[in-house]
Structure formats: C-alpha cells, structure tokens
Structure 1
C-alpha cells in the first residue's frame, strides 16, 4: 500500500527517552509544509473518516445546506464551542496514530467506522482509541497480532502529562478490548462486510485462538507542550502487558492551527 503523501512529514527523530520504569519512548516529529496539494489530499483523507465522499450528496440532500455547511454543523466537532476543540485535537491524534500503525508498522486498521457512527459530533466515541490487526499467514496462528493503542493529544499548554494519561488509559483497555472488538465487528455486520467481520472475530478469544497482544500509548504534543513535558517521570509499572507495551510521542509545531486548517479545508473542498 503506498504511503499517503502527508506521512512524508512524519519522521522518526531517532531520539529516545526512558520512563521512570525503564520503558523506552520513541520520539517522532510531524513537520507539515505549505504544500496545497498534499494538504488537500490529507484533508480528504481526514474528511472520509467522518463520511465517505460517495455518501455525502445523499446525506446533504434535503438539509438545505451546502456540503461544507453540513460537515461543519452536523459531522465535524465544533471549532470553538464546548468540547468541540478538544475533540478535534483528540480525533486528529487518533487518526494520526492509526496512520502510523497502518502505514509504518503494517497493521490493518479499520478506523473510519469509529467516527462515521458517531451520533453527537461533540461527543467522543467510547472504547479503545486505535486497534490494528496483523495476520502472519493466510491461516490464523499464534504469530498474528492485535495492537491496541491509546492516544492523548496535548496541543495547548496544560498541567496534564499526556503520555502518562495515555498509559493510564491503556491499562483500562484490558476491560474495553472485548467491547471494542464487538463494536467493530457489529459495524461490519451491519454493512454486510462479513469477511471483515470474520477477520475481527479471529481475535475475540485468545484462549481458543492464540495470538500476540501488543499495547501502545501515544502522546501527540505541540512543540511548546513537549518542551514542558518530562517524559522520564512517566511510569507504566502498573500496566498488565509491560513486556509488549510500546510508547511513542509525536511532536510538531503549532499543531492546533494545523488541526483547524485541516477541518476547514476538509469542509471547503468537499
């Protein structure tokens, strides 16, 4: 699968830091450029997490709105009101992490349904943030992998330690995993995508069908927030899957401005 153009802006810095419990944290950098073609492609990719472009005309029909008005008022989190801005930053982080594990690590990551089935545009979707599946061979086997990732965005200064928040939420995934897999499977069944539902089903009982479980925690941080975050105080000592836990920080300049720009372009170019 070709790498989406915007992921050329996501690079491994080679920098590593260790947490208080000795876990390694990878540091990646997101460095967007003023390239209208790539930004438009990224905005389309972003928009289609909320609605397929082929479905947009029928959904807009009867509303009296333009495509852009419909997206802003009905599907996209609000730019300024209530929980909208934090949801925008959270969705951005989750989608970026999903891009990372799909295109850099080679997992199947069916994430669009998570956003397309959202009833309230300013209310986050419950369950595990990002789930990836990897099949080692044509026949299911113990080398198949389930990657469950928690993502937390810190795009504005605050007292929160977003990597620690992601680690703590990752601990909760032990209980949420089964419900999240069921939700993904249900969405595929509802759409008649039975083959995809079966692929998810393969990971619903590790006792009957062994596989390798990997957990991850990611913090997506504006450069200013990154500069004020001490990653070495974070700890995953209480995590249930310490031996298969991946930690990553993605940093970048003025990321909230980028987030709003992507949403605006995604609406205007629909």
Structure 2
C-alpha cells in the first residue's frame, strides 16, 4: 500500500511527492495475488506450460532459470542479478502506481522479452499512456525513469533518476516501437494499434510529461540528501514530476515475491 506521507521541496524549488510503502507478509491472500500479478509481468500463466514442458522442467525451474533475476550473484563480484531484482521491482511498483492511482495505461510487456534475466531491459523504464479519445490532443503520455536503493548507505538515487530521465527524449521513440511490437507478438493487436497515437508527435501532438522516481528502503532514506536534488540541467524540467517511495526491509519483500511467484506458478 502506498500512502502520501509528506512532501519536500528541492534546492532548485521542485516539489517532490513522498510516499510510504507498507506491506503485510501475513496477509497470505493479498501476497499470493500480488505474486501472481508480479509473475505475469514476466510470463503469462496461460503460456508458461508451452515454454517449460518442451524442456522437461517445472514451471518453477523455468521461471527461476529463464525469467527471474537471481537472488544471489552467480559469480564473485557480480551484482547484476540482485540489483536487477531490485530495479525490476521498483519499476513494476511505479508502473502499478501510474496504472491504479493515476489511471494511465502501462502495457505489461517490458520484462517478458528479456534475453538475460539478470540484466535490465534497454529503453525507458516506465511508459504510461492516457487515451481520452483516440487522436485527441488531450491524450497524454508520461515516461518515468526509476532508480532503486534497498541496501547500503544513503545516496541520492532521485538525482540519478533525474539525470537519466533527461535521456528519455532520445529513447522514447525506440521504447514505443518496442512496446507496439511486443503487443503484436503477444496477440494484443488492438492495444498495439493504440500505441500508434503517440509515435508521430509532430503531426499529431499531445502533452508529454516526464517523471523521476527513487524507490528506497527506509534504512537508506535520507530526506535531507534527497532535498539536494537539482533539476536545473533537465531540458524538460517544467514537465518533470518527482517522486520518492520508501518502505521497510525492501529486499525482503522483493525476494519473498519472487520466491512465491515461482512456487505458486
């Protein structure tokens, strides 16, 4: 659950929305439903048998081997597996926030097509679309850069998100093309056609917003560091939303969800 707890103004005068993230591991029904939702970002339940049966492996083994980032580094000094777990979780959390709180349409096709489960997918992290009326100028698109930090010492991950968000204007067209193709490949032709609305802004303009989000554990949450965030170098700072989500023992819920998603497949 996300609850708006406070707000802070950065050194450059930008408002940052701060949300408290809470969860209850004892709520088995909710956690199970969440795990299924989480799993389906990577592989639809209706497709998993067609993928794992030919290899003579279980659904759990398939997910843990080919879809989910590993819990522990595969080699000494390697951090991509656990770091990717944290990053994927943070992106999914923000995409769900845009979907259920802000009523954007965020296609769930980003993670199912990764070749290496322990690496982050290229392109914009979260792309949300709002279609008021297909082709209307009130239609809107928002693109979020998301950074996570669940262990270690406090650092300003919001600044990292702001800096990387400034690159979205270059990779957005590629991301929209990838989303459209992936929707077509998964049989969602009607939804794929909706993406066309946002692929030619010169001839069919629409409002475009940017977002930068930091998803962090309570132990590394430092509001004073985050308040130092500067957006002065962001070329679209007047269209930039800032958000922080923080909660307790975040890696614990991350690992728990991955494990439950695999166990209950």
2:72 corresponds to: 80
Aligned residues: 259
Q: Separation in 2 of the partners of 1:159 and 1:252?
A: 14
1:119 maps to 2:115: yes
Contact 2:158 2:212 in 1 (8 A): yes
1:214-248 CA-to-partner distances (Å, cap 9, x unmatched) read 10000001001113761111111111221221100
2:260 corresponds to: 265
Q: Give the unaligned 5+ runs of structure 2.
A: none
Q: Separation in 2 of the partners of 1:160 and 1:182?
A: 34
Taking the TM superposition and a 5 Å limit, the aligned residue runs for 1:132-211 are 132-137=128-133, 139-158=134-153, 160-211=155-206
Contact 2:154 2:219 in 1 (8 A): no
Instruction: Identify the match of residue 236 of structure 2 among 236, 241, 250.
Output: 241
Shift of residue 156, structure 1, vs aligned partner? 0.8
Instruction: Identify the match of residue 222 of structure 2 among 211, 227, 233.
Output: 227
Instruction: Identify the match of residue 65 of structure 1 among 38, 43, 57.
Output: 57
Contact 2:155 2:220 in 1 (8 A): no
Instruction: Identify the match of residue 27 of structure 1 among 15, 18, 32.
Output: 18
1:56 maps to 2:48: yes
- For the aligned residue pairs, the C-alpha RMSD in angstroms reads 1.3
Bigger shift: residues 209-218 or 153-162 = 153-162
Shift of residue 58, structure 1, vs aligned partner? 1.4
3-state DSSP class of the match of 2:82? helix
- Which portions of structure 1, spanning 4 or more consecutive aligned residues, are displaced by more than 4 angstroms? none
1:56-104 CA-to-partner distances (Å, cap 9, x unmatched) read 1111103232211211112110100131100000000000000000100
Taking the TM superposition and a 5 Å limit, the aligned residue runs for 1:36-55 are 36-55=28-47
Q: TM-score, normalised by structure 2?
A: 0.94
2:92 corresponds to: 95
Contact 1:161 1:229 in 2 (8 A): no
Q: Separation in 1 of the partners of 2:168 and 2:254?
A: 27
TM-aligned CA distance change 1:100 to 1:169, over 3 Å: same
Q: Separation in 2 of the partners of 1:254 and 1:193?
A: 37
Q: Separation in 2 of the partners of 1:188 and 1:31?
A: 32
Q: Separation in 1 of the partners of 2:140 and 2:164?
A: 20
Shift of residue 268, structure 1, vs aligned partner? 0.6
Shift of residue 159, structure 1, vs aligned partner? 5.9
TM-aligned CA distance change 1:42 to 1:54, over 3 Å: same
Contact 2:145 2:213 in 1 (8 A): yes
Q: TM-score, normalised by structure 1?
A: 0.92
